[in-house]
A and B are shown apart, each in its own frame.
Chain A
Amino acid sequence: MHIERLVEMLNDIAANQAADPDNAVAAIAQHLKRFWDPRMRAQISAHLAAGGEGLCDAAKEAVKRL
């Protein structure tokens, strides 16, 4: 899948959790586990491992928890 699209989707999820900063990272990670197909999660994890270009900080932290 286009990594740019996955990055945009993940950043959107993160932006919508930003109002609750104490729980944001856990909520983002939980969302990915519940709704993203494993190949999408694998791809975003690989992208983070390669530097995570474009991902916001909360998204990066959440991907680390996958």
Chain B
Amino acid sequence: MRSKQECDLGTPASASAERVTLTIDGHSVTVPAGTSVMRAAAEAGIAIPKLCATDSLDPFGSCRLCLVQVEGMRGTPASCTTPVAAGMKVTTQNDRLAGLRRNVMELYISDHPLDCLTCPANGHCELQDMAGAVGLREVRYGYAGENHCDKPKDESNPYFTFDASKCIVCSRCVRACADVQGTFALTIGGRGFDSHVSAGVEQSFLESDCVSCGACVQACPTATLSEKAIINRGQPEHSVITTCAYCGVGCSFRAEMKGSEVIRMVPAQDGQANRGHSCVKGRFAFGYATHPDRITSPMVRASIHEPWREVSWDEAIAHAASELKRIQAKYGKDSVGGITSSRCTNEETYLVQKLVRAGFGNNNVDTCARVCHSPTGYGLKQTLGESAGTQAFDSVKYADVIVVIGANPTDGHPVFASRMIQRLRQGAKLIVIDPRGIDLVRMPHVAATHHLKLKPGTNVALVNAIAHVIVTEDLIDHAFVAARCEQPAFEKWRKFIAEPQHSPEASEALTGVPAAEVRACARLYATGGNAAIYYGLGVTEHSQGSTTVMGIANLALATGNLGREGVGVNPLRGQNNVQGSCDMGSFPHEFPGYRHVSDDATRILFEAAWGVPLDAEPGLRIPNMFEAALDGSFKALYVQGEDIAQSDPDTQHVTAALEAMECVIVQDLFLNETAKFAHIFFPGSSFLEKDGTFTNAERRISRVRRVMPPLGGKADWEVTVELSNALGFPMHYTHPSQIMDEIARLTPSFTGVSYTRLDQLGSIQWPCNDEAPAGTPTMHEVEFTRGLGRFMLTPFVPSHERANDKFPLILTTGRILSQYNVGAQTRRTQNSLWHAEDRLEIHPHDAETRGIEDGDWCGIKSRSGETVLRARVSEAVQPGVVYTTFHFPESGANVITTEHSDWATNCPEYKVTAVQVIKVSHPSAWQERYARFSAEQQKLLDERETLAR
């Protein structure tokens, strides 16, 4: 059931510009052509009874409750399926209609449990409401006839219950699963009286293909599909609109509360990123926020092998400041640094970079975007002039050709994937460029026109081959290039890309993709209408990540697929605030708004605002920090909300660097892997415990609103403020809105952003300034941020990481729907029912030659290290390629990945690691060491000296 706070107009809005005037119950009503009579009436304040209709789904016309009379029309048509017409005269209430509706309701209620007072939907049930609305007072048929009231419940899903006894077979859940989510996990089984909602082929919800997105629960008008939290805790009494803290889609949710307890998270119908949809993480997996593992008191210790000691906030802050000062006095001001978090708010990341630049006095600040989308920042800045995607998510509605490169949207960005699937079902063509057979390649009612199953590490060669076809077959949009691009750079690029070594035929041996397939793909992209590229970490996390991003931008420039809806270059950002953390100046070479630290005008601006001199030299990137720690020149690190010991490559290198530091300060919800190497621990606050903003993959800034007090007593931004004050660089903010006001004053693309404006508009896509006071859904419409678009040369420079006889397979890593990043949040929810361990996907051919069967333990050895995972034998990967996720620390996925990185940004090459896989029976030596170390650290936490309270 959707939130009580949201009205339901019955059918979707019409996008028609044509207006139609009709009369409903004597009132003149004007609505867009194509609007249903039901919605036209609702917009005029006239509620027509309904059950099977809801405005998130196309009308179905099955319940027969919304019957109306239309002058000159025979019978009593369903108002949900009847479109308005000019001059139409509609009657929604009279004795005849009332009688018909009562008869319908009588039949429904004759086969429905009469347990309203103890029903979880009591007071929030459309069936109950409609019984009241039609004035049902008796059921003439009695209740003793054949009915469904003894149907069993399906409680297999951890988050919701399916109570078949309460089902009215309105098909809203089935339609939501098909039309909104695109999974088709539900159907109506049986006929007539036996009709019933079936998950899969008479399976339980958990056994079925259900992805637990919650769309069916949202759509259900009765208690049939109810959140277990509602069943167990009762209905919420107030709600607050906030933004999900999982992936880069940035869904808007209504946190429905009892006091300070979150009962459920319901996707906001007017959410501008998610349009009322959700996924299993945002909808249900918020329980980590109150998990017993939360650490809510600051802690300190002298060394990582000593027990923790709980201390007051004042003592913890003073100790941290003292340590940072001591280390800077001893080793120099550049011996310390900080890492901002893409899981924290814009305001918090802004403060951490400000603390480092102004408080620490250096530019040693970096963010986890270093290990995911830093090549996006570099590549799009070089070509288009702005380090961000070009479109709004809504843009996909106008795409004719959708290219997905190195992304797995149904797992990584599921709510946007559903939007994409809706467009594909309308007929858009799909090109998938990925070594793996991701779900989008073939799923119900969706099939890729082309799946270019390239060899890992050959993105640049393939993108160049596509460009070669566009150039040599003259598929270029010459008018666009002439008007919008630098001509010398274009001519240089055209000559470069036309060279024979870039042809599909020449690169086939490198990429493994048949030349004819590449040519067909290039022709479709260049001539198929609006063509939009969506890409992910399969593009960026390579030693050529930045080159591929530039190559993708070149394709869009050459074909004129930029500057309007339906096209564009769209990086699918991994974490919720990757875009925002980059925007906020988290990189060591850039101030907020992507302005280089050496730019005098910008630096003078910040120096004047902050009142201190600022360093004009770039600082250390995260991997550089590790190197510097190991050579003794980098000694202290403040890590807010990141888990570099799990997420960064070559784990043993990372942990050695952490051990080499004298002071590691971790601010987090839990004792994460990095915190096991920390000397000071600040309790972090979840997104439910603080105010702020997140910026999603479409540059959309959305409010995060506090719904419960911070369990540790302070929001993350408050901790940074106090640390800065203790270091002698005073910060005076009393609310995050003041931080945003400062960001707006200092950042040209944010000058129009404020909390007041966000409250007015719901969300804002930057740039937002005098030129675009309501924000910018589509970038580069008239000119590029840098003026003219610039083609960049994109040579294919192979990775140093090569397969050979000793390491004959290539490992790639990725994500899965139910888990999120390092898993610190989702592993502490029931999402682990779907994914309880990381497994190694291996092709049947490679498995067979190694004697490996599904479920066997496999040793995976690379040049960096060795770990052991259980095998999943699967044809999703091609022969010669293996794949795993990295959601569980004990998996040690990053023990295997190497230090190789993108040439321009040092983004790690997670997607190409040469490995050997053999059948084993024991954990790896690293896993045994990890288990001992983790047990020691857990013991030191459990035995911590607690504060007297």
Given that A13-B903, A37-B588 are contacting pairs, would A19 and B633 also be in contact in the complex, using a CB cutoff of 8 Å?
no
Given that A16-B797, A20-B492 are contacting pairs, would A1 and B596 also be in contact in the complex, using a CB cutoff of 8 Å?
no
Query: Across the interface, do A37 and B618 meet the contact criterion of CB distance under 8 Å?
Result: yes
Given that A15-B797, A31-B904 are contacting pairs, would A1 and B618 also be in contact in the complex, using a CB cutoff of 8 Å?
no
B322 contact set on A, CB distance < 8 A: none
A15 contact set on B, CB distance < 8 A: 795, 797, 903
Query: Across the interface, do B627 and A2 meet the contact criterion of CB distance under 8 Å?
Result: yes
Chief secondary structure at chain B's binding surface:
loop
CA gap between A19 and B543 in the complex, in Å: 17
Chain B nearest CB from A57 CB (Å) reads 16
B588 contact set on A, CB distance < 8 A: 37
Which residues of B from 544 to 560 have beta carbons under 8 Å from A?
544, 547
Chain A nearest CB from B902 CB (Å) reads 9
Residue A38 is within 8 A (CB to CB) of chain B in the complex:
yes
Query: Across the interface, do A16 and B904 meet the contact criterion of CB distance under 8 Å?
Result: yes
CA gap between A39 and B334 in the complex, in Å: 9
CA gap between A17 and B779 in the complex, in Å: 29
CA gap between A21 and B438 in the complex, in Å: 39
Chain A nearest CB from B61 CB (Å) reads 60
With CB as the reference atom, state the residue of chain B lying closest to A32.
Answer: B618
Residue B617 is within 8 A (CB to CB) of chain A in the complex:
yes
B519 contact set on A, CB distance < 8 A: none
Residue B309 is within 8 A (CB to CB) of chain A in the complex:
no
A13 contact set on B, CB distance < 8 A: 903-904
Interface size of A as a range: 20 to 34
CA gap between A39 and B619 in the complex, in Å: 9
Chain B nearest CB from A30 CB (Å) reads 11
A19 contact set on B, CB distance < 8 A: 496, 793-795
CA gap between A34 and B589 in the complex, in Å: 7
A16 contact set on B, CB distance < 8 A: 544, 547, 795, 797, 903-904
Which residues of B from 593 to 624 have beta carbons under 8 Å from A?
596, 598, 617-621, 624
Query: Across the interface, do B793 and A38 meet the contact criterion of CB distance under 8 Å?
Result: no
B630 contact set on A, CB distance < 8 A: 1-2
Residue B628 is within 8 A (CB to CB) of chain A in the complex:
yes
CA gap between A36 and B627 in the complex, in Å: 13
Query: Across the interface, do A38 and B617 meet the contact criterion of CB distance under 8 Å?
Result: yes
Chain B nearest CB from A26 CB (Å) reads 14
Chain A nearest CB from B238 CB (Å) reads 49
B633 contact set on A, CB distance < 8 A: 39
Interface string of B435-463 (1 = CB under 8 A from A): 00000000000000000000000000000
CA gap between A40 and B901 in the complex, in Å: 16
CA gap between A16 and B624 in the complex, in Å: 20
A40 contact set on B, CB distance < 8 A: 620, 624
With CB as the reference atom, state the residue of chain A lying closest to B588.
Answer: A37
Chain A nearest CB from B693 CB (Å) reads 28
With CB as the reference atom, state the residue of chain B lying closest to A40.
Answer: B624
With CB as the reference atom, state the residue of chain A lying closest to B629.
Answer: A1
CA gap between A43 and B400 in the complex, in Å: 51
Interface string of A1-36 (1 = CB under 8 A from B): 110010011001101101110000000000101111
Q: 3 tightest A-B contacts by CB?
A: A12-B903, A1-B627, A19-B795
Apart from A1-B624, A9-B901, 12 more pairs, CB < 8 Å = A1-B628, A1-B630, A16-B903, A19-B793, A19-B794, A19-B795, A20-B492, A34-B598, A35-B621, A37-B588, A38-B617, A40-B620
Contact sample, A vs B, 20 pairs, CB 8 Å cutoff = A1-B628, A2-B630, A8-B800, A9-B901, A12-B797, A12-B903, A13-B904, A16-B795, A19-B496, A19-B794, A20-B793, A34-B598, A35-B618, A35-B904, A35-B905, A36-B618, A37-B619, A37-B621, A37-B624, A39-B334
